Amino acid sequence: MSAETRDIIGLLAGIAPGSSLEAIRERRSQARENAQKSYLALFEPTDFETFGATERHAAAAFVAGVHGEPEVANFYLAGLAKSVDGPALVEALKAEIERGKTSGPYGAFPPGPLSVEDKIGLIYRVAEARKATLGARLAAALEHAHLLVFRPRDATAADLQVLLDAGWPTTAIVTLSQLIAFLAFQVRAVAGLRALGASLAPGKSRG
Amino acid sequence: MDDSIVIQTSENQPVAFTQDELGWLPWLHPLPEAELTERHWAGLVDRSRSKSAYFRLLVRDPEVLEARTKTDKDIFYNTANGLPRAERELAAAATSRTNGCIYCASVHSRFATVHSRRSEDVQRLLDEGVGADLGARWNAVVRASVALTATPIAFGQQNIEELRRAGLDDAEIVDVIDSAAFFNWANRLMLSLGEPTTKVGA
């Protein structure tokens, strides 16, 4: 991969070209290339269908932001700012990210022996004052994203009905779900590789 | 037409983690096999996956599914270098146990057992949870996976040092990171697009 086509995970994790970590990643070149293709299929698809670039970047920025991963969130916010109606959304999203931050995973198991492990936590809803800016469709997507990030075991068919009612067709719900879940992967790959890279930096103790 | 949810009766919903084989029922309409085009077949990667409701639902976005599937396969099946398959499956099972994905945990705990022949230890992970004492090496893999699964992400130098003390080299640590990170993707799809059932073949 040339510098121009560096994969986003490597870029955000700060992996230096020519480093030992880059060489290790080369051994899983299919995983690296297909993680990058996943990113491209989600954010630069040949056909956006009913799920536009603005909504895609907004949802991704929110997922990264509520994870407490500002570098990744800023990457998607920068992408959002490039879209036609993106700039107006950036401030509203930043405010919603702060409102949505909490610690997970939590949620309920099916009633039974696992119920002792049930944990309650924030049920996030977009602030009424920001619904006009974000729109009902994006607001529903952000609420769904928060559900999937922090309490995926709480998800039910009714949550998909909420998305359908907010104007998300079935195929767009599949893409939205993939986007949220992909971001949950991407922020962890970035954070994990960044930590490993830091431990390999010159002058660092190998513990 | 297709834009409605599918109500499952939930009669056979598992209520505990298990290594037994489970089925999975979708809450949205998968594409019927007869409607699959060449673009969809490419997205499925393996033609046999058209028998699965889960993959026929995800194939509504074939390009994303194709890339996701190929990422999955390299992280878990490419054992030419790096972490033994059993420990990649352990990372997937520990991640699924943490997020609460009974279906994913069933598949990957079964694989962990097949590749490690440590069925009892794997079962203790399912029964007792991620705090079960499975020996230094497995404990390190489980703790790293749990830390990476937490939001905000809690994985850090302490995990890396514990993995190194347990004998993992840097390439093996990358495999732990990839395996746990990938199941944070898989768990969220399985948990939010349908439900597990004890009825096999569903």
Query: Angle A70-82/A170-200 helices, nearest 10 degrees?
Result: 130
A28–B75 C-beta distance less than 8 A: yes
Phi and psi for A104 in degrees, rounded to 5? -135, -175
Q: Decide if pLDDT at A190 tops 90.
A: yes
Q: For chain B, give every domain's residue range.
A: 83-190
B65/A177 Cα distance (integer angstroms): 12
Stretch B40-57: mean pLDDT: 97
Q: Decide if pLDDT at A205 tops 90.
A: no
B171: nearest CA partner in chain A? A24
Interface of A with B in 100-159 (CB under 8 A): 103-105, 107, 109-114, 117, 147-150, 152-153, 155-159
Which pLDDT belongs to residue A207? 44
Nearest 5°: the CA angle B147, B90, B69 is 95
Residue type, B107: V
Which pLDDT belongs to residue A4? 45
Q: Which residue has the higher pLDDT, B137 or B201?
A: B137
Q: Decide if pLDDT at B156 tops 80.
A: yes
**Token duo for residue A21:** 């970590």
Given A111, A169, A174, which is nearest B58 (Cβ)?
A174
* Chain B: closest CA distance from residue A57 (Å): 16
B164–A114 C-beta distance less than 8 A: no
3-state secondary structure at position A70: helix
Query: Domains in chain A, ordered, with CATH?
Result: 3-200 (1.20.1290)
B92/B87 Cα distance (integer angstroms): 9
What mean pLDDT, rounded, does chain B reach? 96
3-state secondary structure at position A39: helix
B151–A103 C-beta distance less than 8 A: yes
Which pLDDT belongs to residue A203? 60
Task: Please give the class, per CATH, of domain B83-190.
Answer: mainly alpha
pLDDT tens for A17-51 read: 899 999 999 999 999 999 999 999 999 999 999 99
Among A9, A57, A18, A76, smallest CA distance to B71 is for A9
3-state secondary structure at position B11: coil
Stretch A131-138: mean pLDDT: 97
* Chain A: closest CA distance from residue B113 (Å): 22
pLDDT tens for B177-197 read: 999 999 999 999 999 999 999
B108/B93 Cα distance (integer angstroms): 5
Q: Decide if pLDDT at A52 tops 70.
A: yes
Which pLDDT belongs to residue A201? 80
Which pLDDT belongs to residue B199? 87
* Chain A: closest CA distance from residue B101 (Å): 7
The answer to whether the peptide bond before residue A111 is cis (omega within 30 degrees of 0) is no
Which pLDDT belongs to residue B200? 81
Whether the pTM exceeds 0.90: the reply is yes
What is the distance, to the nearest Å, from the Cα of residue A100 to the centroid of all Cα atoms in its chain? 13
B117/A38 Cα distance (integer angstroms): 34
Strand partners, B5: B28
What mean pLDDT, rounded, does chain A reach? 94
Which pLDDT belongs to residue A87? 87
A155/B190 Cα distance (integer angstroms): 10
Q: Decide if pLDDT at A3 tops 80.
A: no
pLDDT tens for B9-28 read: 878 999 999 999 999 999 99
Q: Which residue has the higher pLDDT, B21 or A84?
A: B21
Which pLDDT belongs to residue B9? 85
Mark out the alpha helices in chain A (DSSP H runs): 8-12, 20-26, 29-43, 53-66, 70-82, 87-100, 128-134, 136-150, 157-165, 170-200
**For residue B81, what pLDDT band results from cuts at 50, 70 and 90?**
confident
**For residue A158, what pLDDT band results from cuts at 50, 70 and 90?**
very high
Query: Worst-scoring range by mean pLDDT, A20-24, A134-138, A203-207, B96-100?
Result: A203-207
